[in-house]
Structure 1
């Protein structure tokens, strides 16, 4: 059996790679020449961040990502998503 060790540096590099990929996502950039929409639906946030519905729920419950509920739909401010992503950069 081959065993590979994963170092903290490997994990830091992986984190940086994921953040770069998310930032390159079209939802963050908007369409050509347009700013991104101010409010995103849950499925768009999950796709943008590459997370599951359960992870998004945990972000809501622990207060990491504020949301607004309209009817049965959850909406998230683009600026709040950026703040969350910027918080990942600081760690």
Structure 2
């Protein structure tokens, strides 16, 4: 996606909503960090294997969601699209 307006259209974001969307994504990042921390606490204090696995799933969910939200925030703040895999590898932005 060469044009940033095309990215906004594809993600369903109007140009006038950009700051609100970024702030919402930052709030979601805090929420998913909390989910990951809860998963970590469950893993640490679990007495059984099933509870341990449930904690691991929560940690994984929180981590993946956190990374995805961070990528979207970076794309929107820099107004330049970078593919997710390239961003993970440190290429592009």
Fold conserved between structures, TM > 0.5: no
TM-score when normalising by structure 1 = 0.31
More strand by share: 1
More helix by share: 2
Q: Larger RCO: Structure 1 or Structure 2 (Cα < 8 Å, ≥ 6 residues apart)? A: 2
